[in-house]
Structure formats: structure tokens, C-alpha cells
Structure 1
């Protein structure tokens, strides 16, 4: 009998683990992650490898063979391949749109909208738009956010309020942008079309943005400042962009074309590829770049050397190579998740959790809590999406809930809660960039704590929750898991 046949036979019979034994790999991974990220200040890849090794040891002790564990890891990686493809295309789009001047044009005209009178609301929407365009909260915070801090402080506004508006806007755009790696991760790992995932997030995120806007508008009316701002930082950024790019409102046609393709239901991959192609042509024929530079930009990213450091930070990025850090972490994460899921360890943990998480409200609340817990324990936003996605996907489908409910909840809890953890990569980055600590800006990061609350309200009322029929449930289980069932052997560690 071949290895493949052996693997198939065993993978259809998940072993039953004691919940405390099943939690050992997760606990080891979390402890290793905490020590590595917080104490050693290193990347989270090695802790994930340690977690995978621990999960392998536990599974071997339960009676699995090594070739079976290899198959579990391969299955986990295969589940992430759609997300990896989109991430590669996103890298192409970012690189080509920067090289083609599309990003510079949108930022240039966006910066002109800053008004001292309604500063907090203005900076909220500017950060939202720019982050939506470039798909990166960090780049938005590091550039426009830093400039906004300088302007707001010159008006006498509380720095925590400014930081709250910047962060709320930056993470709104990051969450809703098809160019964001967290957005593509959440949709890809749950087998949801990227734009369907974004559309479904409107239910929680748009009300959150409206509430945030109202609160900052009210706060702005009561802020007493000089009513004038020193816009030197903004002027320098705009001048630097004019020096290095051809700025033209005609370049807005490129994102409009891509948006129209999306509206007319073109799948994410070809729509993004068309966006990358248009950016590539813009780099050649509008910006006057060479063929070699345009190709190199799509591969390794755009390179700019200006006298303005904020412009350098914003535009020195893109290309599919820029996505390799995230992709490598996704692959390692999915080897860990593959062993945890296909060995039966995740199933044992889920059975324990689902004794408490009853119905739609309980399942969505448990997902939110799990994502937040992973952010607190692992200090890493990506892991808060990867781990719960594999833990809860089957349970959502089994309870006749469309997977897009899960993808939305992962972002509501995982993407947004990371800013509240002072020792997380996001919290440390914001402190170093804006000079404001998490416990200071936390109360003013209104979007980030409003959206999870809205998600719980929708779960309790059933509003904005998409159900699936039993036929659709069976089709999804067959498509995602093949012939695998929830059956378990009698073996219990």
C-alpha cells in the first residue's frame, strides 16, 4: 500500500485527545512567541516552528506516523495557497502603482484636504483613504500620521486624540483594502472571495467609521487651539512627490477601472493583475521609466532617494518580494495549523470550547475572544488571523454559517485589537512612530474597539449574518475538506 493510501486512511479517522494534551503545542508556541517577540525582539517564525515540532511530537505519541504528519502539513499549506497567490498579486499592484505614480497622485490630492477647523475628522478620513489605497496601516502611520501629529500638536490638540484618529483611519483602510495582507489572509484562509469578504465587512466596519467620525467631530468642536497649523511637513512631502512623480488627476482612472472590474464581478486575481498591468504601463509611458526599472519595481519594489524621509518611507516598498516575509510566515503557520487540525487536536479543543459557545452569538463571540487572546499572547496580528481561522472554519460551516461570517469576525477581532497590546508589534511600532503609548491612545482609538462590539450586537440580533442551506454546507465541506469527516477513534491521550 502506498504512502498516499496510508495517509488517506488515517486522515479519515481523527484521534481524540484530552483537551489539556491538545493544548500543549499551542501553549508551548505561545510561551515561545512571548519570549521571542517581547524579550528577544525577534521575528515570530521560529516560535511557530517550535510549535510545529511540539505538535508533531504529541501527534507521534498519539500513534501517527511521520509520513502522515507530512501530509497534514502539506494539506495546511495547500489551504493557504489562494491567499499566497493574492499576496503575490498585491505585491505587484503596490509596486506598479507606486512606480506608475498612482499612489503619489492619490496621496498628493488627499493631503490638500487637511483643514485645521475639523482636523481630527479630516486626518481620520485622509488616513482611511491613503491606507485603503496602499493597503498598509504602518506606512500610513509612519508618513501621513507623523505629519498629522506635528500639525495637530501645533494646534494644541491632545496627542492621544491625534494618534487615535490616525490609528482609527489607518486600520479602517488596512481592514477594507484589497491590497492589505491581513485582508487577503482572512479571506484566503477561510475560502471566501476577497471582494465578497470586503463587502461583508461593511456591516460592522462602516457603522464603526460613522460612529468614530461623529465622536471626533464632537471632540473637534470642543478642542481649543490656535486654529492655525504649521504645514511645513505637508508642503515638503508634496514638493518631494512633485519632484519624483508626474502628478495628474488622470491617474485616478486606473483605480477607477479596477473598481469597475470588481463591481462587474471580475474575480480578485485577474482584477488585481489588470491593476498591476495598468500601473506597469503608467510607469513606462507617464512616469517615463525604463522597461528594466518598471519590471524591477514589480519584482523587488520601488526605490526612491529623496531629501524627505517620510516620502522615502512611503514609497520604498512594493513588489512581490516585499510579500515574502508574510508568505513565509503563512506557510510556517499553516504547517502548525495543519498538524493541529488534521491530527484531531484542534477538534478536541473546539469540542471543549463549543460546549460554552452555543449558537451564532456564542461562536462569533468565541472567535473574537480567540483572536484577541492570540494578539495578547503571541503579540502578532497575523497569527491572530491564521490560528482562529483553522480552529473555527468547520464549526461555522457545521452551524450553517457562511464562511464570510468567520472571515469578517477574524478581522473585527484580530486586525483591530492588535493596537491595544503594548508589547505587540503594532503597539511597539505606534509608540516608536507617533510617540504615544497604547494606554494613552487606546480610549481614542474608537474604530478599533467599536467594531468588535458591533459584531457582537449583529451576532445577537442576526442582522448581517449570512446563513447557508444544508446543501451548501455539504458542498463547502466537500470542497474544503474533501472526504474528511469529524469522526474520531477511541484513542484518548
Structure 2
């Protein structure tokens, strides 16, 4: 009963915090205290609690290193003009008749380069939604297309902290996992694009302003050279070069280009790498081009660490074992996938953020996959197609709210139009069923 009360109380705290706009870390700390107290009353003393929490927290260390590099890379890409140039060239390619499909594809490209949904939403997404408002486009459709694109990279980019967390939780190697995720993205991307092409024809952009591209030109040196830091990441990831070393090379390239092309002072570059990029408040790009830096990842890092620590406490209480026991009759590839989907929805609703959904779903389902002798890369791919993509479909989940808030759109109304988030799972599910049926026919 105490455990049930703990879950209800934690869910209420997290939900109220998200709805009131409080940082989710506060709710997580309170949830951690609640379950630690329950664990203590169950007979686990302070030393045992500390051991469980630290063992869980250690799982976050690999991801925290990635957070540091992502913050530095993003800061370097801002001050070098890489991100402004990506936005600039994307805008130049826009055909008003096909705005919706463009919103999806451009968001997908930027999110793949940045590896972050929030970073994409607060840069390219803001530009796109401003254009939608001025061009009489349905904001729910535009928002759905943008959030779909934001999670293309969040799911399968080598720079994505989310992908690193998946690999860490499932004991898989990053690049083999990325290859698997990219292959399972092809058909969903094509189908999603087809839907957005149809919606584009019904929702053309009636007004196309050039002020954003002109503002970028006035503030940055724009040419293909400043795209070099992003190109380096794409090329090195293609050759499966160590992602951390790739990021360091990209950071160095960004610093050099900022010094030479953008004429930035070295002190300004260091400040940006640490605190993030920000323009003068009077600048028209002030609300569009900002972010990155080491400290921009601090809150995200704390959330992941607390999530992993709380998962350690819950695991020490035997909760994950008890929950996974509910699926003891779920045998076979399809049933295990459905069990993962159910667990992902529950953890995404309960935890209120993507990290908790990934960590808790992985911990709960790990034993089920081992007992069914399912490959760990299949396990990681299942997590990607459920916990990662289901989280932004939950209106009170941070994965949805951060993007919808940045775009200033309704977090509920955009979900039906976020086709990529659920088409990916549907296609994946059908693909597994077809392969199993084919194998069954061949063995008869």
C-alpha cells in the first residue's frame, strides 16, 4: 500500500509541477525523497539506500559526459555562425506551397545535426512557427510537423544524449545501434512525408517574409565554410569515428571559424562555450538564436542523474521485478514489444520526462528480454520506438511541453498531427509481424 501511495503522490507532484511550469527536477527530488523514505521504512538503512542510489546514478555518468560535449558543440556552432547558416539556407529553400512538408524535413535535418529536440524547436522551430502565424497556416498542423521533425534527430543522431542514454541502459554500442535506428526510420519518414505533402497542399503559406534571412545576413558571415563544424560531425559519424572525438574536432573547428569568419573575440568564444550564446535584446534575432554552452546542459544532466538514482532505489526495493512479473505471460517477440509499449506509456505519463521513461522502461523490461532471449539491439530499438517517441505524445511530459512552449502552440492539439511519433511504432510493429509470419511459413 505504501508503494502505491508513493507512486500516486509522486505522479501528482510531477504532474502539478509540469502543469504549473516548475522545473521537473524539483518534482523528481521530492519523488526521490518519497521512495527513499518508503525504502527506509521497509528496512533498508541509510548505507543501503546510498548504495542503491549511487549504483543507479553511475549509469548516468556516460550520458553526463555527452551532455558536456553537446553543450560545448552547440555553443561553438552558434558563435561560429553554423546554426544561423543552417537556418538561413533552409529558409532559402522554402516553397510556400509546400510549407508543412518543409517544416517537417527542415526540423528533421536540424535536429539530426544538433541531436536535440529542444535546440531545434527553439531555433528552426521558432522561425517556422513565426512564418506559419504570418502565413495563415493551421498552427496545430504546423506544430505537429515541427515536433515530428524535432524527434527524428533526437531518436537517431550521433549527437543525441537520448540515444546515448538508450545505449547505456541496454548495454549496446552507439554506432551499431544508430545503424539499426536509421534503417527503421526510412519507411516512417517516407510515410510521414507523404501525409505532410497532402496537408501542405491544403495549407499553403500565403505570406512569405524575408526579414529573418536578412537579419541573419546582417549579423553573421554566411557561407558554406561556416557549415564546416556540422559537416565534420556528419562525415565522421558516417565513418563511425568515435563520437566524443568527433565532437571535440567539431568544437575546435567552430572556435577557429568564429575567430576567422565571424571576427569574434577569444574571450567572447570562451564565454559562449560556458554560458551559451545570446545576442543583444534589441536585436531582432534575440529570441530566435540563443542557447548552447556548458551550463545549458546542467539541468538536463541533473534530471538524468536523479532519474537514474531514483531508478536505483526503486530497483533496490524490488519494484521493477514486481512490475516485470506482470508481464511473465508475455512471451514471444510481439507480446514483449507490446509489453514494452504499455510500460513506456505508463513511465512517460508517470515520470513526466523522456529520461525517466527510458531508464524505468529499460530496467523493468530487461529481465523479460533476457528470458525471451531477444537480442539487446532489438531491445534498444524497441525502447527507441516506444519510450523515446511516446514521451512527446504525452501533453504534460517535458518532451512535449518544452517544444510546444518554445513554439507557443497547444500541447494537446499538435499531437494528432505529429505523425512520425506514432507511425514509426506502427511500421515497426507491422514489420516484425511480417518477418515472423514469413519465418513461420518457411519453417512449415
Normalised to the residue count of structure 2, the TM-score between the two structures is: 0.88
The correspondence for 1:277, drawn from 248, 252, 255, is 252
Q: Which residue of 2 aligns with 1:454?
A: 427
Confirm or deny that 1:126 pairs with 2:100: no
Confirm or deny that 1:53 pairs with 2:33: yes
Contact 1:121–1:165 at 8 Å: present in 2 too?
Answer: yes
The correspondence for 2:221, drawn from 243, 246, 263, is 246
Contact 2:77–2:83 at 8 Å: present in 1 too?
Answer: yes
* TM-superposed deviation, 1:156: 4.7
Structure 1 Cα separation of the partners of residues 203 and 273 of structure 2:
47
Structure 2 Cα separation of the partners of residues 278 and 188 of structure 1:
28
* TM-superposed deviation, 1:167: 2.1
Change over 3 Å in CA distance of 1:380–1:81 after alignment to 2: same
Change over 3 Å in CA distance of 1:103–1:143 after alignment to 2: closer
Structure 2 Cα separation of the partners of residues 202 and 27 of structure 1:
37
Confirm or deny that 1:32 pairs with 2:13: yes
Contact 1:254–1:279 at 8 Å: present in 2 too?
Answer: yes
* TM-superposed deviation, 1:416: 2.4
Contact 1:139–1:314 at 8 Å: present in 2 too?
Answer: no
Q: Which residue of 2 aligns with 1:329?
A: 303
Structure 1 Cα separation of the partners of residues 308 and 349 of structure 2:
20
The correspondence of residues 37-436 of structure 1 with structure 2, limited to 5 A, is: 37-38=18-19, 40-152=20-132, 156-221=136-201, 223=202, 229-232=206-209, 235-305=210-280, 307-309=282-284, 311-352=285-326, 354-429=327-402, 431-434=404-407, 436=409
- Comparing 318-327 with 379-388, greater Cα deviation is found at 379-388
Structure 2 Cα separation of the partners of residues 105 and 367 of structure 1:
40
The correspondence of residues 458-473 of structure 1 with structure 2, limited to 5 A, is: 458-462=431-435
Structure 1: 5+ residue runs without aligned partners? 1-19, 464-493
How far does the alpha carbon of each residue in 1:196-232 deviate from its partner, in whole angstroms, 9 at most, with x for none? 33222123323211101111223334x275xx64322
Change over 3 Å in CA distance of 1:30–1:302 after alignment to 2: same
* TM-superposed deviation, 1:432: 4.5
What SS does the corresponding residue of 2:185 show, helix, strand or coil? helix
Structure 2 Cα separation of the partners of residues 334 and 155 of structure 1:
44
Structure 2 Cα separation of the partners of residues 139 and 299 of structure 1:
16
Structure 2 Cα separation of the partners of residues 154 and 43 of structure 1:
31
* TM-superposed deviation, 1:163: 2.3
Normalised to the residue count of structure 1, the TM-score between the two structures is: 0.80
After superposition, the CA RMSD in angstroms is 2.7
What is the count of residue pairs matched by the alignment?
436
How far does the alpha carbon of each residue in 1:436-492 deviate from its partner, in whole angstroms, 9 at most, with x for none? 4344333321111211222322443458xxxxxxxxxxxxxxxxxxxxxxxxxxxxx
How far does the alpha carbon of each residue in 1:75-134 deviate from its partner, in whole angstroms, 9 at most, with x for none? 111111111111111111111111222222222111111002222222221111122223
How far does the alpha carbon of each residue in 1:364-412 deviate from its partner, in whole angstroms, 9 at most, with x for none? 2222222222222333233222221222234434433333333333332
Structure 2 Cα separation of the partners of residues 181 and 105 of structure 1:
23
Change over 3 Å in CA distance of 1:367–1:292 after alignment to 2: same
Structure 2 Cα separation of the partners of residues 101 and 347 of structure 1:
49
Return the index of the structure with the highest Cα Rg: 1
Contact 1:121–1:217 at 8 Å: present in 2 too?
Answer: yes
Contact 2:67–2:297 at 8 Å: present in 1 too?
Answer: yes
What SS does the corresponding residue of 2:66 show, helix, strand or coil? helix
* TM-superposed deviation, 1:22: 5.6
Structure 2: 5+ residue runs without aligned partners? 437-444
Contact 2:100–2:145 at 8 Å: present in 1 too?
Answer: yes
Structure 2 Cα separation of the partners of residues 399 and 314 of structure 1:
48
Structure 1 Cα separation of the partners of residues 250 and 16 of structure 2:
41
